[in-house]
Amino acid sequence: MIKKALFLVALLCAVSAFSGDLYLNIIWHQHQPLYVNPETDQLSGPWVRTHATKDYYDMAAMHKDFPEVHATINLTSSLLYQLEAYYLKRLAPDNLSEYIPGHTDPWIDLALNPAAQFTPEDIDLLVNNPWNALAMSQVQMNRFPEYAALRDKPRDELTDEDYAAILCWFYLANFDPDFLRGTSDLNVDLTDLLREENGLFYLKKPLTRETAVELVQKSVEVMRNVIPVHRQLMESGKLELITTPFYHPILPLLIDSDIAKVCQPNDELPPRFAYPADANAQVVKGIDYYQQTFGSMPNGMWPAEGSISEDAAAIFAANNIQWICGDMHVLERSLPSGLDIAEPYRLSTPDGDIMIVFRETYLSDHIGFTYQNMQPQEAADHFLGEVLHYKPAADEPDRLLTVILDGENAWEWYEYDMDGKQFLKAMYQNLTDARASGDVTCVTPSEYINGNPDRNIPAHPVSEMTAIEKLWPGSWISANYNTWIGEKEENKAWEYLLKARQDLESTGFPQPDPRSTEPANEPDKSIWQAYESIYAAEGSDWFWWYGADQTAGTGDRPFEEAFFQHLRAVYRHANDAGANLTVPEFAPILSAAKVGLQENTGGAMARSTVMRTVRFTCDATEQIVPVAIFIAGNEPSLSEWNPNTVRLYDDGTHGDQADADGIWSLELDFPVGSEIQYKYTNSGAPGDWQDCEEFPQSNRAFTVEDGESVQVEHSVFGIRD
């Protein structure tokens, strides 16, 4: 009996000492809006190309050096389609003389134009177009002092040689630093053009139009390797590749836009849009394009903007998708309450169970925002420390922590680390060491589900995961859909989309099989194109820029023009197929202030001229304020929603009325008519929303009015006006 008792005690001690493993699921989201102008069959923006040379190749290739850092990369269909159809199929890098202008993007046309003089149209494209050759972050521009000098030179003093240099710099500054330093594994070396000194790049020789041709060739070489490097790493097991519904729509809103009444009960919504067949087509088309590109079926999909609902999950499951992603704030509002963020969940659908992983928002946003202001190793160490907080305690089972963020937009803001390269390498090295010590194992979602004996990772069947009883409908922004629906401008865009969709439906043309390719014969070809145009108009990117909550630094007009082009194409193709539809007049939706961003009187950052001073005052007398009250909002001077970077003052300066009275103030100038949205935060780290005001349904907002005196916007911290 004594021996048996001792055995039981030892067994209980062993069990109590057992703890599961911590798995880290990193997902990089790579996406570009559809820049295709259906009227010219050309891209209106260069950003697929610039991010391909600066981000898409190296973000994948870096994993060759860190084989234990398994991760997932989401490549949206709209991104892959533009890369393949408008660059890889239309540019022969060894014979650019056969290139036909008007087939890729206008900046390539300009680079390959042998004309000796720049025309007024060329100059407008280079320095005045909303997407001009001087439009990039200040942090990124600072690394190229000669480029910055050209940006700051008076426009009337620029010469043809200057314009040629601006064009070339636009290419150079959008190459990954590995190419600038000649350290890439690709045969793309730009050290013949640039030298590096103290982290800054200077010219070795003048930039000419001949240089521009060379840079196009090198750009094509990088673009040609983007898909192969992803496929190679996927086949080796280091990366899992996934995709998104084809044109990046907010899927729950296509199924039934009234779903927003659940998560936005106080918002006025547009007339109901409910076309679940379109939502299914977007998913099927995304899967089909992925299979054509990579030769296999994707196991997972990233719903555009993390926008999920129970009906959307059912469409994914019906198309044999095993897992999808959401945000922790959606999980917090789902049932049962109190669900652990570091755990995957099972949702039952009519077509079987599907796994949902939810991003740890604060940790993801640290990479996207906070770490841009930190030294690389310090940031990498902080990241690992935060991850280790989720390590299972004694008696706890395995945990899966998910980090999801854009893999292309954050790096140009990393002040002490060009393109975030040192941070990423330090983070991956830390995770490699953590794997060796048994603290953290980086996995892909499919690897977590199915297990990987070669890495001693057990299977975690979806059937054994905790069930979500009620999934909250929402996105990775504010756990609702208010970035895309609910504001006046957004609602008007939905009305336009509904009108076009109803008119197409009225023709009686059958909705094509989403797996079908473009037919060769009429009228089937035009019917197919009409539906393709409505799918393109359903993309999230057009609605993103409407309303006061999002504003592009170079203006929102190009996105509105693209949206209208796709709507008009629905009617053009339908009428080509034999319909007799009257094309509506799609009147501009954008507010005057947002259109004023792109009036080309001064380049990318030109603003309307009628300004008014606004004084923000925040009563924080009931708060403990260790550092300061900060403001974040939708304007560049309000940090464009980057929290804890623009501070208010309580020292009698910057519009503050009294020193140390607990009323924090800041005066800023805005164009009259601007729609301002903002929130206050209290002493948090840059990029961290943790200590912010919580208004789940809307932000603080007002319109800048005309007047001679200062416009005062007074608030009490944490109390809704």
212: helix, strand or coil: helix
pLDDT number for residue 706: 79
Number of Cβ atoms within 10 Å of the Cβ of 702: 15
**Domain of 625?**
611-716
The reply to whether 593 and 525 lie within a common domain is yes
Q: Check residue 624 and give its pLDDT.
A: 85
User: Contact 73/239 with Cβ under 8 angstroms?
Assistant: yes
Q: What is the pLDDT of residue 419?
A: 97
Q: How far is CA 461 from CA 323, 345, 346, 465, in A?
A: 12, 11, 10, 7
φ, ψ of residue 452 in degrees (nearest 5): -145, 95
The residue among 598, 621, 649 that closes a domain is 598
Domain count across the chain: 2
- Judge if 632 and 576 occupy the same domain: no
Question: Residue ranges of the alpha helices (H) in 264-360?
Answer: 276-294, 310-318, 328-333
Determine the Cα–Cα distance for residues 406 and 364; give it in Å rounded to an integer: 9
The angle subtended at Cα 394 by Cα 389 and Cα 399, nearest 5°, is 50
- Residue 678: name the closest of 661, 657, 703, 656 by CA: 703
Q: Are residues 659 and 570 in the same domain?
A: no
Q: Is it the case that residue 146 has pLDDT exceeding 50? A: yes
Domain check: are 502 and 540 in the same one? yes
Kindly provide the b/e burial profile for residues 184-198, where b requires at least 16 CB atoms within 10 angstroms of the residue's own CB: bebebebeebbeeee
Mean pLDDT on 681-690: 79
Nearest to 288 by CA among 75, 76, 514: 514
Q: In this structure, is residue 629 part of a structural domain?
A: yes
Asked if residue 699 is part of any domain, the answer here is yes
Claim to verify: residue 704 and residue 619 sit in the same structural domain:
yes
Residues 707 and 648 in one domain: yes
Show the tokens assigned to 607. Answer: 């603003």
Tokens of 279: 């939502």
**Residues 594 and 615 placed together within one structural domain of the fold:** no
In a domain, 230, yes or no: no
Whether residue 643 is contained in a domain is answered as yes
Taking phi first (over 0 means left), then psi (-120 to 50 degrees means alpha), and beta for anything else, what does residue 623 get? beta
Specify the CATH number for the domain of residue 622.
Answer: 2.60.40.10
User: Can you tell me the distance from the alpha carbon of 10 to that of 14, in angstroms, rounded to the nearest whole number?
Assistant: 6
Q: Is residue 668 part of a domain?
A: yes
Q: Do 634 and 708 fall into the same domain?
A: yes
**Of 568, 598, 628, the domain-final residue:** 598
Q: What is the pLDDT of residues 471-492, one digit of tens each?
A: 999 999 989 999 999 999 999 9
> What is the mean predicted confidence (pLDDT) over 695-716?
79
Pair (585, 503) in one structural domain:
yes
Q: End-to-end CA distance of the chain, in Å?
A: 72
Query: Residue 301 pairs with which residues in a beta bridge?
Result: 243, 324
For 96, the 3-state DSSP assignment is helix
In the structure encoding, which two tokens stand for residue 363, read together? Answer: 């940790």
Q: Which residues pair with 664 in a beta bridge?
A: 618
Pairing of the two strands 352-359 and 345-349: antiparallel
Digit-coded pLDDT (tens) for 411-423: 999 999 999 999 9
592 within a domain of the structure (yes/no)? yes
What average pLDDT does this structure show over 313-333?
A: 98
- Tell whether 617 and 653 lie within a shared domain: yes
DSSP 597: G
Given a contact cutoff of 8 angstroms between Cβ atoms, the answer to whether 458 and 442 are in contact is no
Q: What is the DSSP letter of 276?
A: H
State whether 637 and 568 are in the same domain.
Answer: no
Among positive and negative, which fits the CA dihedral 240, 246, 248, 250? negative
Burial class (CB in 10 A: 0-12, 13-18, 19+), 521: exposed
Q: Are 715 and 680 in contact (CB under 8 A)?
A: yes
Q: Look at residue 120 and give its three-state secondary structure.
A: helix
pLDDT tens track for 566-620: 999 999 999 999 999 999 999 999 865 455 443 333 322 233 347 789 999 999 9
More confident residue, 102 or 63: 63
In a domain, 630, yes or no: yes
CB atoms < 10 A from the CB of 222, how many? 22
pTM of the full structure: 0.83
Distance CA 709, CA 655 (A): 13
Among residues 598, 633, 652, which one ends one of the domains? 598
Q: Tell me the HSE value of 388 on the side-chain side, using a 13 A CA sphere.
A: 14
What's the confidence (pLDDT) of residue 695? Answer: 55
Look at residue 428 and tell me whether its pLDDT is greater than 50: yes
644 shares its domain with 696: yes
Task: Tell me the per-residue pLDDT of 76-107, one tens digit each, with 9 for 90 and over.
Answer: 999 999 999 999 999 976 777 778 888 999 99
Is 524:504 a contact under the CB 8 Å cutoff?
Answer: no
For residue 36, pLDDT beyond 70 = yes
**pLDDT band with cut points at 50, 70 and 90 for residue 252:** very high
In this structure, is the dihedral angle defined by the CA atoms of residues 445, 448, 450 and 455, taken in order, positive or negative?
positive
Report, as an integer, the average pLDDT of 390-406: 96
Distance CA 77, CA 84 (A): 10
Sign of the dihedral defined by the CA atoms of residues 251, 253, 259, 262, in that order: positive
Q: Report the alpha-carbon distance of residue 380 to residue 420 in Å, rounded.
A: 11
At residue 499's C-alpha, the angle toward residues 498 and 502, to 5°, is 80
Q: Is the predicted pLDDT of residue 463 greater than 80, yes or no? A: yes
As given in the structure block, the two tokens for residue 605 are: 């950052």
In a domain, 288, yes or no: no
User: Which of 280, 427, 338, 327 is closest to 29 using CA atoms?
Assistant: 327
Q: How many CA atoms lie within 13 A of 100 on its CB side?
A: 6
For the sheet with 675-682, list strands across it. 629-633, 675-682, 700-703
Q: Binning pLDDT at 50, 70 and 90, where does residue 256 land?
A: very high
Report the run of H or E that residue 716 belongs to, with start and end.
strand 711-716
Residues 6+ apart with CB under 8 A from 693: 679, 680, 681, 700, 717, 718
